Structure 1
Amino acid sequence: MKLQHYLGGLEGLGPVNTETRVFVEPWETRIFGIHTAMMALSTHLPLPQTPSAFHTIWTWADLRKGAESLNPFDYFKYRYYEKWLGGISSYFIQHGYITEEELDALTEEYYADPSKSLPSSGDAAIDDRVVQYLVEGDSPARDVPVAAKFSVGDVVRIANVPSVEHTRLPGFLRNRTGVVETVYPGAYTYLCDTGPDGIGEAMTVYCVRFDPNELWPGNAEPNFSLYADLYARYVAPADVSLSVKAA
């Protein structure tokens, strides 16, 4: 498991960045806009067709996979939107929208002449689809018959699933026990199939309460609890070992 999946309770990672601005540099607003447009134009959404050349699936999960696939040293070196830029750039290369050589050449052009005008763009149908997406969203909730295996008050143990690219399970919860606080009604899918990590299909989601002393023995403050919303894949009876290996 990569270090960026296992941050809770770790010490000695260096100074904490207290930057409060949402966008530090002007270009970061453009990265946010590109990501939003890609989500709105993703082919998995039942929205009106547009003349856009974007013809693949892009979700929050794809963005997260791009960031989390970085080498840990790079992950902690770059700021938030720098990770976004790397993930989006890699995605466009991997899906054939542009080659690495073409991207490098364009980058050098704009380094050499920062005042060089950007390509022209704009289409009313694309703009309308982006607005519709922002209004309607893409809910992960699904009205499907999935039976919950646990009830409020049950003691459960958290899995140690293999995380290849992306996971929704914090490292510090793995192999720890907690108590089911809430069983959310219905079932919830994830935005993509996470492979050996095991989420994607519709399943129950639980809110599990943890005693900090269970998570960080001898190094936790008293009189509080930690809560985590967890997919059913990550939850099992307390007397079951859940160290899961990739096939």
Structure 2
Amino acid sequence: MKLQHHLGGIENLGPVSLETRVFVEPWEQRIFGIHTAMMAESAHLADALPAYAVKDLPTAFKSNWSWASLRTGAEDMQPFEYFKYRYYEKWLGGISQFFIDAGYLTAQELEEKSAFYRAHPDAALPDRPSAPIAAQIGAYLQQGDSGYHPPERAPRFAAGDMVRVADPAAVDHTRLPGYLRCKTGTVDAIYPGHFSYFVSTGVDGIGRPMPVYRIAFKAADVWGSDKSEPNTTIYADLYEAYVQAAH
């Protein structure tokens, strides 16, 4: 992940926020709702587990949208812009740019709508989802979208194996925490089945379904003994593409 999107081990970035509320402002709930509705209508759900009849939904939204889409939008932000905005403001920026890039509306139309609601904050909002779409959103919230697949082969590593984390080429989006690159740990568990991701990360290595491991790292091996509490273990779930033999 790029610097601004995984800050583990980076010093001098200011105080850590201790806010525990999921939504601090009411408008943040609406941003989360927009994202959830987009995921529930995403075209990729036709091939997901469980399969959804998204092709029959009365919606103009025909694109793929997932957590990967949201994260990629945030990771594409210019770093100084990223630090300037709050959490759900980043979501809004990524979602807005997606709709523009996908051709659902133009930047001018978005600006006109924004100006209208700034000038008329009490104006009526667009209609709520139709009954079929509301039912689809409810089903998605209850059943989710699994990347699980039946195993196609045996995992390369077994519990107890000493492994080393890979250092793949940097790409637009990765599931490998930057602070674990080239670190050595021990396979703690292997999750049953194989798992895919919402998008392919190209040379980063995530594509076809593969095993996922829970790997244990000694904190001192990650941060250094002078910056770690004694007897501390860090656990990370990693796709097999990111795992190599230690020797």
Equivalent position to 1:223, from 231, 241, 244: 231
Q: Distance in 2 between matches of 1:188 and 1:9?
A: 28
Tell me, yes or no, if structure 1 residue 8 matches structure 2 residue 15.
Answer: no
Whose helix fraction is larger, Structure 1's or Structure 2's? 2
Tell me, yes or no, if structure 1 residue 120 matches structure 2 residue 132.
Answer: no
Partner residue of 2:176?
A: 169
The runs of 5 or more residues in structure 2 that have no matched partner are 47-51
Stretch deviating more after TM superposition (22-31 or 56-65): 22-31
Q: Distance in 2 between matches of 1:123 and 1:5?
A: 36
Q: Deviations over 1:208-237 (max 9, x none)?
A: 111111112232111111111100010001
Tell me, yes or no, if structure 1 residue 156 matches structure 2 residue 163.
Answer: yes
Which amino acid counterpart does residue 29 of structure 1 have in structure 2?
Q
Q: Distance in 2 between matches of 1:162 and 1:183?
A: 25
> How do 1:23-172 and structure 2 match up within 5 A?
23-46=23-46, 47-48=52-53, 49-172=56-179
The runs of 5 or more residues in structure 1 that have no matched partner are 240-247
Which amino acid counterpart does residue 81 of structure 1 have in structure 2?
Y
Q: Deviations over 1:117-173 (max 9, x none)?
A: 222243111111111111221111111313211111111110112232221111110
- What percentage of residue pairs aligned between the two structures are identical? 54
SS at match of 2:216: strand
Q: Distance in 2 between matches of 1:144 and 1:152?
A: 17
SS at match of 1:221: coil
Contact 1:43/1:55 (8 A) holds in 2: yes
Q: Distance in 1 between matches of 2:99 and 2:208?
A: 26
Tell me, yes or no, if structure 1 residue 17 matches structure 2 residue 20.
Answer: no
SS at match of 1:227: strand
Which amino acid counterpart does residue 32 of structure 1 have in structure 2?
F
Q: Give how far 1:54 is off.
A: 0.5
TM-score by length of structure 1 reads 0.92
Q: Give how far 1:12 is off.
A: 0.6
Q: Distance in 2 between matches of 1:115 and 1:66?
A: 30
Q: Give how far 1:101 is off.
A: 1.4
TM-score by length of structure 2 reads 0.92
SS at match of 2:244: strand
Contact 1:189/1:201 (8 A) holds in 2: yes
Which amino acid counterpart does residue 26 of structure 1 have in structure 2?
P
Tell me, yes or no, if structure 1 residue 201 matches structure 2 residue 239.
Answer: no
Q: What is the alpha-carbon root mean square deviation over aligned residues?
A: 1.4
Q: Distance in 2 between matches of 1:230 and 1:157?
A: 11
